[in-house]
Amino acid sequence: MNNGAKRRVGILISGRGSNMLSLIEAAKAPDFPAQIVAVGSNKPEAKGLETASKEGFATFAVDHKLYGKDREAFERDLDAKLRENNVELLVLAGFLRLLTPWFVHQWQGRMINIHPALLPSFTGLHTHERALTEGVRIHGATVHFVTAEMDVGPIIAQGAVPVLDGDTPDALAARVLEVEHRIYPIALEAVASGKVHISGLRVKIDNSEHEGDSLIA
């Protein structure tokens, strides 16, 4: 852990917030190197905001619909909320809003995302349907640093699941989600403790006790 102090983490969500909850649970451990200081959303009605609030966390919404096409104005307000809360590390957990290069630059190297596929395969939307259509035998989830290009960025952790005969997109999504809930806390722990070093597109993790977990079948 850095200087014995917990890193201040902000989480951004757009929906139900199950990944957020897995991070909240992990952060309850006394030796977890991060504390969640705020949960925000671009959707005031996001179910996860209610969950976070019930758990006792400060929440906020910056409703993107109020900004029309002015993405930067929306992002400036979002950024201001995060700074008000002295957020050091930003975690996107089902935050389904494209970010401009300006915002990404503000948080470069300090913003991570979870994507429901084994990147670089299946960037973008409908990953589970596409994995089934393409007939892959292994699917999964990826935690990565956010860069200006969507769903591209140094990979911190990945978890894999088998694709089974008779899988539907929903069945596959549920299997992948379990892996998401497992790898996101591991990735956040590694980043917050300062063990993660970026070199180009590659990430090196010092003394990772979770090395074997980077591939979960």
Active-site residues, by number, are: 115
User: How many angstroms separate the CA atoms of 34 and 23, rounded?
Assistant: 10
x/- mask, ligand GAR, residues 151-180, rule CB under 6 A, reads: --------------------------x--x
Q: Tokens at residue 196, please?
A: 């993660």
Q: Is the dihedral of CA 171, 53, 99, 45 positive or negative?
A: positive
Q: Collapsing DSSP states into helix, strand and coil, what is residue 194?
A: coil
Structure tokens that stand for 80 in this block: 């201001």
- Which one of the spans 8-16, 52-60, 82-90, 103-111 is the region binding ligand GAR (CB under 6 A)? 8-16
Residues 92-121 that bind ligand GAR (CB under 6 A): 93-94, 114-116
Site for ligand GAR in 177-206 (CB under 6 A): 177, 180
Which one, 1 or 55, has the nearer CB to ligand GAR? Answer: 55
Q: What share of the chain is helix, strand, coil (3-state, %, to 5)?
A: 35, 25, 40
Query: How many residues contact ligand GAR, by CB under 6 A?
Result: 14
Q: Which residues bind ligand GAR (CB under 6 A)?
A: 13, 15-19, 48, 93-94, 114-116, 177, 180
